[in-house]
Amino acid sequence: MTIQDTLVAKVKEAVKHLHEVELENVEFQATRKEFEGDVTVVVFPMLRQVKTNPVQLGEAIGKYLEENVEEVSGFNVVKGFLNVVLSDAYFLKFFNLMKDDEHYGSVTTSEQSPKIMVEYSSPNTNKPLHLGHIRNNLLGYSVAEILKAAGNTVYKTQIINDRGIHICKSMLAWQKFGQGETPDSTGLKGDKLVGNYYVKFDKEYKTQIAELQKQGISEEQAKKEAPLLLEAQKMLQQWEAGDEEIVALWEKMNQWVYDGFEETYAALGVDFDKNYYESNTYLLGKEVVNDGLEKGVFYRKEDGSVWIDLTDEGLDEKIVLRADGTAVYMTQDIGTAIQRVEDYAINGMVYTVGNEQDYHFKVLFLILKKLGFEWANHLYHLSYGMVDLPSGKMKSREGTVVDADDLIEEMTKTAQEISEELGKLDGYTEEEKQELYKTIGLGALKYYILKVDPKKRILFNPEESVDFQGNTGPFIQYTYARIRSILRKADFNHSTDLTGYQLHEKEREVVKLLQQYPEIVQQAAEQHSPALIANYTYDLVKEFNSFYQNVSILGAEVEEEKIFRVQLSEAVANTIKNGFSLLGIGVPEQM
């Protein structure tokens, strides 16, 4: 039973004892900083059932709790708020239980744990990953780790968009202008090489459009009749027909891209349990649509195309099969969702996709419900805002995208410049320095993106993110390294349980924050929000730094104080490490 459960029972008991009234419920809120107390009971709602003065009622309940609950050591009443003070013994009992738990805050999974699949990344195979993909990957990976820590069995996946006209554009441009060059012959990562040809196609295509316009053809018509586009369309038809030469080229160039993606994922520190490919899944939904036609979920128009009418649900009509019988994205997503449930017996899915697809997922989830799948009630679209840079918006086909690899490299360089400026790395070998720059640079990037609510748009400023002060990854990493330094210097036995210890006000505040961590993990899982973990970790670090500046740790004169403060420091370090691991961020042992 938690302290809140105990207080609910005892507050109800108090009101029944004092006024012979059965309270329906008891409301709590966090105690405001300016008042003494650890838990605040809101008295006002009780006045609906108990006709009395709120201050008098608060005083009477407070006295009852003080006399009948051993964890309560005092109270004060401010208007209609009863601020309850919990005893040092209560906090010490909690602390002695949590301090040696390396996995504090995480729930152990079992066979009965809910199974959830988290989809993220889901790139196209015609270009490298960019800044937008970075936010997607960081969010998806972190939400997967948070859901796991909250007690779920989690599978990480992506659907790779490896077919379609955009893929053929890169293939055609390489065929025409590539002169047989490969990642090996150029020294370029495969995804970058293929991306260059996507840009090349667009450039040549625009030249052809301009030439056709000079001949008096309208821009709209020129876009449709440009020879390069017609060739790309023909190539797509050949691919769909299984043309051996085209399929072989498609396989070769896609493999270049996959190899490049793997390097980026490794550098970013994300991974997947299963990859799904659009080339395998785009036909999966067709069978389901045909079944749905028989059941009356879908209907066929005169031209042979298949639709669903969602106007009664406030949406519109949506096509699920074209007149020629080919699948659309929605068809593919229906089939893929069903396949995933068959593959992993999952109870729910989280789709990490930008907010421009909000409508698509409303439709998808509704179709799956109408098809009778109970698990469709447990689908969630982790919708997120775009990432901008001070320089402006990105466009893939024009080659103005912020490349993910370049950004990771830039973050490492920025971390190096700032670290050298601050002179923090004396005595490090060159290899150790390079490893640390990566840890700091990536930590800065990840924290800057994840501390913001997913739904909000971000303006990403690389230099601001690597500041060693304020709400940044490096500031938190530096505090962790400082604590590790304290622990290395603590050359005495500090494993003793101190049951009768009297807490200093600053120690108490840190312990109170530590106690909140498991609840924060659960809230972050429910809300699919890494920002809750990030900002909690920052609050914990701020509280620790206030404690560090106000009391002596290793220089404490009383042995018990020294022991407890080292234990408290270690517990904070473990919680920082655990919290940051849920964000996919490493912590350096020294800095």
Q: What is the pLDDT of residues 43-63, one digit of tens each?
A: 999 999 988 999 999 999 999
pLDDT at 401: 66
User: Which pLDDT does position 397 carry in this prediction?
Assistant: 44
Name the 3-class secondary structure at 545. Answer: helix
| Partners of residue 498 on adjacent β-strands | none
What's the token pair of residue 492? Answer: 């005495």
Q: Are 179 and 246 in contact (CB under 8 A)?
A: no
pLDDT at 486 over 90: yes
Q: At what angle do helices 530-550 and 430-450 cross, to 10 degrees?
A: 120
In percent, the amount of the chain with pLDDT more than 70 equals 98
Residue 451: Cβ-neighbour burial (10 angstroms; 0-12, 13-18, 19+): buried
Can you give the length of the chain in residues?
Answer: 591
Q: What is the DSSP letter of 402?
A: -
Q: Which CATH number fits domain 3-86: 3.30.1360.70, 1.10.1040.50, 3.40.50.720, 2.80.10.50?
A: 3.30.1360.70
Model confidence at 280: pLDDT above 90:
no
Q: What is the pLDDT of residue 395?
A: 44
Q: For position 131, what pLDDT does the model report? A: 87
- Spatial distance between the Cα atoms of 476 and 462, rounded to a whole number of angstroms: 17
Question: What's the pLDDT tens digit per position in 142-182?
Answer: 999 999 999 999 999 999 999 889 999 999 999 999 999 99
pLDDT at 554 over 70: yes
More confident residue, 421 or 101: 101
Position 240 scores a pLDDT of: 86
Mean pLDDT, rounded, for 303-317: 94
What tokens does 301 get? 């128009």
Parse the chain into domains and list their residue ranges.
Answer: 3-86, 164-271
- pLDDT higher than 60, residue 105: yes
100-104, 333-337, 341-345: segment of lowest average pLDDT: 100-104
Distance CA 149, CA 575 (A): 13
Greater confidence (395 vs 265) lies with 265
Residues 477-487, mean pLDDT to the nearest whole number: 95
- Name, in order, each residue with C-beta under 8 angstroms of 551's C-beta and a sequence gap of 6 or more: 504, 506, 507, 561, 565
Is residue 546 within 8 Å of residue 559, measured between CB atoms?
no
Look up tokens 């948070």; give the residue. 146
Give yes or no for residue 422 having a pLDDT over 80.
no
Between 413 and 530, the higher pLDDT residue: 530
Distance in angstroms (rounded) separating the CA atoms of residues 376 and 374 = 5
Burial degree of 15 (CB within 10 A; 0-12, 13-18, 19+): buried
Q: What's the average model confidence in pLDDT over 556-567?
A: 92
Q: What is the pTM of this model?
A: 0.91
- Pairing assessment for the beta strands 379-384 and 115-119 based on DSSP bridges: unpaired
Predicted confidence at residue 391, as pLDDT, reads 65
Q: How far is CA 395 from CA 132, 165, 198, 500, 589, in A?
A: 11, 18, 12, 64, 40
Query: Reduced to 3 states, what is the DSSP secondary structure of residue 351?
Result: strand
DSSP state of 496: -
Facing residues of 275 across strands? 158
